[in-house]
Structure 1
């Protein structure tokens, strides 16, 4: 939308300006033909100014009562068309060239109204103008050759007016659509930039966490190794402790990997990996309910790129969210045309709100802040960022059964097995 036309209030202000200029000029032009009579020459202008003032007073009162500017803009079109029609007949100037000033209304209408209503207003304007010209007092008698010639000129004027109105409407509507599309793409670019800035900030935070935790974990690992030389009673506990420390190291290595510029070229079978990740999640005791897994065998020959540990973490995060929502969990994987695969995770919870659907995937936004449920809002954000890094996409919507549905769309390649 052009600057200054983004709101109905601003559009109404511009429409009022067009009305004042066009209608006053029409009234003055009509009055020039009555210059011989000073009283009659001022009458058209006085009538126009009075009606304009009454219309604007009525619009202001309507807006204060209803508080809706959009309706005022639409009502403006109807009122002005009716006023011009009445003024032309009342002043007996239906054949006056000043009526061509009506065409100027096409510009603000095309900018202030929707595309469909702008075309409707233009067609109404054409019909009114054609009626005024064709059935005006100057064309009552067409027997005289001079009058017949005037009739041809008036028809030519009608054709030119109609073509001009349609051309201006189409051109302005087309320009407006281009500007709207440009504004939409600009807003999308700004949103992507803001997302990238948040991702960079999170990456810097993750790098700092990895650096801060690296030293104490190294000390714990060293002490646990020395304790293994002590009495055997401590051996099982220390082995578990050391295993957990090693797990923390793997997590930190992944954090460092996401903040670096290195790209893993490892290829994993989607079908095999998905069954393994879900099985590991169940074996870890994280599944307390029913789970339905549908992974067709054809996905065993479909490969995905990226760090397998990160993909596993994403899978676990989606399963954790579904478990928190409550009810059975359904996981369905399918192969799509053109080298794509899709994984859907459905839960049977109460379903996401409109705000949750709009903000899901934003960092530090979580829908689990009520009822004792906790979340930091980073799971879906990391999942979406990693999926986009490999050409995929993650969406959060309401499922057919009313619960939540997370759809992970993945770019795939043929998988022939490990070398």
Structure 2
């Protein structure tokens, strides 16, 4: 199944949460060592039992989070944001019982801010920054005093001025990290997305080249048996004393196959000229006429809006093949009835195809358009892949969605590159 944008986001969030668990373990280990040192080697009056209980609860959270990343792989950005909030909450609780803003480890608040700036959208990052700054500000006034951590607080206001300076330095640092690091992270993410798109386009072009080479060889191989079939059918038609509708239809289909192969060769030889200059109304009339010769049993309801502008333009020959492929898909799904509507202006062409078949399941819809994915049991999964690749090459889009009552609706939007209004 082709990866989607949501799957990439969830995968990145899962990896980020695992990295956060590593950082949590390092921080937890350092806090445990500090607690042992200040309780066994140099006692400074810390509430050991309370701090130990907080660290034990934090260890449970870390273990649960690590298990969560393997047991349930889908992790959203909101959940990752909540994990950072939990870290801020635990860190604030630890600081409350260990001197508040006078604790030298108060600057650890910058860690969740930095993590948010590199991994989360801007709104989440600012929320983490504001909450961290609010927690720091709260700890300026509400905390359990530890005299060893603020030895000069009872002499004069110098200590308070120092702590206020630390708060101001933290606020400036947090603001700079939030603003600039998020911008740099967003730039890197955009570059990664562009590289991903380039790799996908390169892979698609390689697949198209392979399919094109195969099509050229197949066209050459089909030429001889089609010519033989045409000769035999012509002789059978000539030998029939009366009319034979089946033979006539077979004769028409074979002739259409021969013309299609000839057109394939002509398209390959003359694709550089970009197609002939033609009126759009005449272009689509001819397209639908050829398609109905191939699918005579399909009841096609073709509609043009009134007052369409008389636009002349050049459309590459492969575009007609792509549109014909979409029409054939609709005819396969709904042999009795296909509704078609075409409209255009000076900028775009819009083709809507409505069939009344079984429709496309939501699971398959996200995969349609990738190579070797088909909604038909006998399909090879190349038609829609080639169609999308061709139309995207010329700036077009293909959207397939369920119909209002039944079947599917296919919408093609194609920009007009070279417009001549007459």
TM-score range normalised by the length of the shorter chain = 0.7 to 0.9
1:351 aligns to what SS in structure 2? coil
Q: Which moved more, 1:208-217 or 1:43-52?
A: 43-52
The answer for the alignment partner of 1:347 in structure 2 is: 355
Shift of 1:210: 1.7
Question: 1:106 touches 1:122 (CA, 8 Å); kept in 2?
Answer: yes
Shift of 1:91: 3.0
The answer for the alignment partner of 1:317 in structure 2 is: 325
Shift of 1:44: 7.0
Cα distance change on mapping 1:256 and 1:23 into 2, 3 Å? same
CA RMSD of aligned residues (A): 4.3
Kindly indicate whether residue 419 of structure 2 is the aligned counterpart of residue 409 of structure 1: no
The answer for the alignment partner of 1:212 in structure 2 is: 221
Shift of 1:103: 1.9
Residues of 1 paired with 2:65 and 2:36: CA distance? 32
Kindly indicate whether residue 205 of structure 2 is the aligned counterpart of residue 200 of structure 1: no
TM-score normalized with structure 1 length? 0.75
The answer for the alignment partner of 2:4 in structure 1 is: none
Shift of 1:126: 0.8
1:147 aligns to what SS in structure 2? coil
The answer for the alignment partner of 1:52 in structure 2 is: 55
The answer for the alignment partner of 1:266 in structure 2 is: 276
The answer for the alignment partner of 1:122 in structure 2 is: 129
The answer for the alignment partner of 1:362 in structure 2 is: 370
The answer for the alignment partner of 1:330 in structure 2 is: 339
Residues of 2 paired with 1:241 and 1:87: CA distance? 85
Shift of 1:164: 0.9
Question: 2:388 touches 2:397 (CA, 8 Å); kept in 1?
Answer: yes
2:94 aligns to what SS in structure 1? helix
The answer for the alignment partner of 2:113 in structure 1 is: 106
CA deviations on 1:59-100 (whole Å, 9 max, x unpaired) are: 424665894474875554344333333333323354233322
Kindly indicate whether residue 390 of structure 2 is the aligned counterpart of residue 383 of structure 1: no
Residues of 1 paired with 2:230 and 2:296: CA distance? 27
Residues of 1 paired with 2:44 and 2:154: CA distance? 31
Shift of 1:216: 4.0
What is the total number of aligned residue pairs between the two structures? 398
Residues of 2 paired with 1:50 and 1:86: CA distance? 11
Q: Which moved more, 1:387-396 or 1:187-196?
A: 387-396
Shift of 1:209: 1.0
Question: 1:31 touches 1:42 (CA, 8 Å); kept in 2?
Answer: no
1:321 aligns to what SS in structure 2? helix
Question: 1:394 touches 1:406 (CA, 8 Å); kept in 2?
Answer: yes
Residues of 2 paired with 1:357 and 1:148: CA distance? 68
CA deviations on 1:303-337 (whole Å, 9 max, x unpaired) are: 34233xx5554444333322333374332222245
Cα distance change on mapping 1:377 and 1:38 into 2, 3 Å? closer
2:99 aligns to what SS in structure 1? coil
Question: 2:204 touches 2:389 (CA, 8 Å); kept in 1?
Answer: no
Which runs of no fewer than 5 residues in structure 1 stay unpaired? none
Residues of 1 paired with 2:223 and 2:282: CA distance? 33
Question: 1:11 touches 1:112 (CA, 8 Å); kept in 2?
Answer: yes
1:263 aligns to what SS in structure 2? helix
Which runs of no fewer than 5 residues in structure 2 stay unpaired? 1-9, 148-152
Q: Which moved more, 1:47-56 or 1:203-212?
A: 47-56
